Structures are given as C-alpha cells and as structure tokens.
Amino acid sequence: MGKYPDHFNMVFNREELKERLDTYVALSGELTRAEGEHQFKSLQDEIQYYKIDKPTFQHLGIYYERVYNFELEKIPGDRKYYSRLLKQLKDDCILIKDDIIYFRSKGNLRDETLFRKESKDNHIFALIKALEMIEKYLLKADDPDSVEEIIASYPKIKWTGSIAELSELINGLKLTNVINNGEMSLEEISNHISKFFNVEIKDIHGSTHELYIRKETAKYSNKMKTKIEQKRDDLIEKDYQRKITKKT
C-alpha cells in the first residue's frame, strides 16, 4: 500500500480528503466493533489504549472530517474564511484548556477517570492532537502572500551587470532546458528573471538577436568559466598550503 503524502499538502484538495475520510470511517467501524467485544486484562491496559494507542489513529479521523467540511463550506471569494476558522478554533480550545494542559504536561492523575471504556471523554487526547493539526492546516491555508509578495518582502536583489550579460544568461537557461524541463518560453523566463533581479528587459528577443550576431557570442559565459577556473585553482592552492603547514 502506498504511503500517504504529508497531511498539510492537501489544502483545497477535497478529493484527497474525501478518500482519506472514507478509509478512516471504514476502519473506525471495524475498530468500534472490536472494542465492544474486547475485555481489557488490566486497568493499565485500558488506560494505555484510550490514552495512547487509540488517539494515534482516531485523531486523523477527526482532522480529516473537520478539514473536509471546511473545504466543502468555503464560499469562493471569501478571503477571511480561514481567519474566522482560526478564531473559532481558539474559542474551542479555550473550552478545553485544562485538558490541553493535562495533555502537554504528560500528567496521569486523571487517567483513571478519563481513559476508561465508559468515559464520554476518552477521546480527548485524540481531539487535542487533531486540533493541533487543524491549526497548522488553517495557518497554511490562511497565508495571504503570493509568490510575488513573498519575494518582495525580502531585501531587493539588483542585477548590476549589463543587459547583454543578463540576456546571455537567460538564453543559456532556455537552451539548456534547466527551467521546467525546457517548457517555458524565452519571454516567460525573461519575465521571471526580470522580477527576481529587479531589472527591466524591454525586448528579450531583440537582445537575443544582438547576442547571436556579435563577434563573441558567449562572452559572459566565457567570463564566468574563467572566474570558476580561477576559483578552482585558488582552492587547490589553498589546500596545498594547508597540507604543507600541517606537515611542518
């Protein structure tokens, strides 16, 4: 059976959520029938099951069900939807704050009351684990930053070489198929590189034509090659001097 991908890489993927939820419901039904017939050998075994063993499985079902319903109920264009759900999650957690503290402190004084078959709250640790996962999901879904905004939030990177050098670099990326397996056009690559390096290339095709008709077509690439070879020689010399010093 294939391993499921990360739970938090499913934002907006209702089909994936439904598949996991259906699997959980089927397995949970079998588990409930088995529980009804099972007699625990000791109080410690019963506590271990409801405190540790069952929550490991049960919290996933709670998580999938809630997140699936979140995605079903989301109205297109509601940009504050996940923010409201985060506030609601906070309010829900306040109601069980003492249980959350008990869970995080790894306490055991309430175990004999909480984690018994007849206890209506024997699912509390599964719920808490699910709520922690739901928080992570909602925080990811609520992130308003687009790729452009994220890049803009970082210190500006400015291309300080010539447009001819940048055009040569863009053409090299296109011709060697190292961007999206070569499936992006020269213009698309140029637009992305221009935004990243905060520089305007008015006509990448015109720049490319000038590049191909000049005497030394790969002038910038040759310059980089020379610099890389020089760096290699410097590293070899540095390593040699280190070995000489170590021997002496």
How confident is the model at residue 21, as a pLDDT?
86
Domain count along the chain: 2
Q: Are residues 40 and 160 in the same domain?
A: no
- Output the tens digit of pLDDT for each of the chain's 248 residues: 344 445 655 555 778 888 888 888 888 888 888 988 889 999 999 999 999 999 999 999 999 999 999 989 999 888 899 999 999 999 999 999 999 999 999 989 999 999 999 999 999 999 999 999 999 888 888 775 544 554 555 556 788 998 889 999 999 999 999 888 888 899 989 888 888 788 888 888 888 888 888 888 888 898 999 999 999 999 999 888 888 887 76
Q: Are residues 156 and 129 in the same domain?
A: no
Q: Provide the residue range defining the domain that includes 166.
A: 150-217
pTM for the structure as a whole: 0.56
User: What CA–CA distance (Å, rounded) separates 68 from 71?
Assistant: 5
Q: Residue 97 in contact with residue 87, Cβ under 8 Å?
A: no
Q: Are residues 47 and 123 in the same domain?
A: yes
Q: Are residues 72 and 95 in the same domain?
A: yes
User: What CA–CA distance (Å, rounded) separates 184 from 174?
Assistant: 8
Of 144, 176, 205, which one is at a domain's C-terminal end?
A: 144
